[in-house]
Each structure stands twice: as structure tokens, then as C-alpha cells.
Amino acid sequence: MSLPYENERWFLLLRREVKASTVTAVAVRLGYKRARLSQVMNGLMPNARPDKIAARVLEMFDRWTCPYLNAEIVAEECRSIHAGATPSHDPARLAHRRVCRSCEHNRKEKL
């Protein structure tokens, strides 16, 4: 069965996490019941829109370790730092941007 969201980033992240663990463990981490997560993953609720689960998955699992900050950040923040205008007025942000250029996450992410 083909799901309308099976190629979306959040669903690929969700599948990766479940593969590395279990549906039950991932559901607990996300704050959902196992049955609900299983229904979304198996397309048992074809008319349901899993927007809330998608947002939670991205919040929890779409994170990378920034080599400049030496901390985990949300992937969207990483993308905005790389894609934003060059911060020539701020030496710290400019240094961050330089490190960003050679970062392993500075590429098209494939799951």
C-alpha cells in the first residue's frame, strides 16, 4: 500500500528510528500511543492527516551535531545558518559560517 506521505522527510526519519529501535519505544519518546503510531506507519487511517505526529517527529529526530557549536541543533536551524546571507558584520557568526562550509551536513541529506 502506498502512503501519500511515505517519501516525506518526517516519515523517513520515523522509519529510521523505528528500524533502530521498536515502534513502542519510538511512540513513548514521541509521547504517542503505540497503536496510533502503528496506524500512521501502516496507513490504517487513510483519511487521517498525521500533521501533529509529523511535527513531533521533526522536532525530536531531525537534529544534527554542529561542529562549530559542539552541540546538537535542529536541522532547520543548521540549514538556515548555511543558506542565510553571509554575516560579514559579526565575527563569531562569520566563523560559524566558515565551519559550516566544510561540515558534513552541508549537502543534500539522504536518509
Do residues 71 and 53 share a domain? no
Q: How confident is the model at residue 111 (pLDDT cuts 50, 70, 90)?
A: very low
**Tens of pLDDT along 13-72?**
999 999 999 999 999 999 999 999 999 999 887 666 789 999 999 999 998 888 899 998
**Tens of pLDDT along 92-108?**
888 888 888 888 877 65
Do residues 57 and 15 share a domain? yes
Domain containing 74 equals: 63-101
Q: Does the pLDDT at position 10 exceed 60?
A: yes
Contact 37, 26 (CB under 8 A): yes
Do residues 68 and 85 share a domain? yes
Do residues 95 and 69 share a domain? yes
Do residues 54 and 88 share a domain? no
Q: How many domains does the chain have?
A: 2
Q: What is the dihedral of CA 63, 51, 45, 24, to 10 degrees?
A: 30
The pLDDT value recorded for residue 4 is: 85
The pLDDT value recorded for residue 110 is: 46
